Amino acid sequence: MKLATRVTICEVGTRDGFQIEPGFIPTEQKVEVVDRLSATGMPRIEVTSFVSPKAVPQLRDAEEVMARIRRRPGTVYSALVPNDKGAVRAVDARVDEIHTVISASESHNLANVNMSIAESIVKLRAVAEVARRAGVPVSAGISCSFGCPFEGEVPAARLESVVARLVDLGATSIGLADTTGMANPAQVARALERLVPRFPGIQWTLHTHDTRAMAIPNILAALELGVTQFDASIGGLGGCPFAPGASGNVCTEDLIHCLHAMGVETGVDLDALIETSRRVQEIVGRPLPGQIVKAGKWDRRYPLPDGVPARLAALSAR
């Protein structure tokens, strides 16, 4: 495999994960989780979303969370915004970067933000203007890049058209999101082989959900094609409230464990991240999908059963 020596992970659990929890996660616990993630050396954290509290009541404390977190030098603290009003709130809260989202599917876009793709582009143009005036960079994500739960397959030409519109807005960083885990590695590779030469200079990110246990295989396919930025969620939290069947994002500690085992650096302390995942499980009150928390790292060793050490010693003495 042709692998980069280092990749950048953006932790999205405190936004993408907490937004769909049935109960409100107290502000102090959100701040605690962000601070714990910062302490692991996580290079990027999507902390929250500046969206209407009526639409996403679980993130109604966005300003307070941003005000109370401890900002580690070297970590980028971002937030998702749906429109220029949200962008103004995010700028006032001193985010380092604004994330926006639009769908490659008309049906999903209407279900998600109650706008057509064309209407969303108008809103994103206003967001870009707010960000430009404030000197805050913008990263654009495309939901349902590889498939829609309502329409099925998303044609490659339509995905390319949405990317082109975002590039026309001035986007230099674009995330391809497998919102409902419908993608496969060959499909991811085909999309990147089409898009990367067409839009030189774009920084690509892959945002995967593990709905069908394909997240890490899809990431490895993108990694082989030169993508080095990936979103992930602590413990595998998350899902899309407006996409039926969507489950959590790829688990951060599982992904980082995979990358480290292959010699790909992330700058993240995996042991500290595993402890953070255990704490998140306590906060949400249930086991999470992540596997490394359960099984331990690949180099974990167990005591030998009674009698085996003596037999090994006897074999060595022969």
Residue range 140-162: mean pLDDT, rounded: 95
Which range scores top for mean pLDDT: 29-43, 101-115, 227-241?
Answer: 29-43
Rounded to 5°, the CA angle 278-19-137 comes to 100
CA-based nearest residue to 253, from 213, 296, 283: 296
Integer CA distances (angstroms), 107 to 155, 212, 261, in order: 14, 22, 40
Cα–Cα distance for residue pair 112/74, rounded to 1 Å: 32
Cα–Cα distance for residue pair 265/249, rounded to 1 Å: 21
Backbone angles phi, psi at 268, to 5 degrees: -105, 135
Residue with tokens 């616990």: 29
Round the CA-based radius of gyration of the chain to a whole number and report it. Answer: 20
**Each residue of 280-307: pLDDT tens digit?**
999 999 999 999 999 999 999 999 999 9
Tell me what percent of the residues of the chain surpass a pLDDT of 70.
97
**Each residue of 172-188: pLDDT tens digit?**
999 999 998 999 999 99
Cα–Cα distance for residue pair 56/49, rounded to 1 Å: 9
pLDDT exceeds 60 at position 242 = no
Active site residues: 240
Residue with tokens 């080095």: 228
Tell me what percent of the residues of the chain surpass a pLDDT of 90.
90
Confidence of residue 159 (pLDDT cuts 50, 70, 90): very high
| Architecture of the CATH domain 8-317 | Alpha-Beta Barrel (3.20)
pLDDT exceeds 90 at position 267 = yes
Cα–Cα distance for residue pair 274/254, rounded to 1 Å: 9
Integer CA distances (angstroms), 33 to 144, 168, 218, in order: 28, 36, 27
Integer CA distances (angstroms), 142 to 154, 170, 247, in order: 12, 15, 17
| Residue 27 host element (H or E) | helix 27-39
Tokens for 225?
């094609």
**Residue pair 207/141 in contact by the 8 Å Cβ criterion:** yes
Burial of 213 (0-12, 13-18, 19+ CB in 10 A): exposed
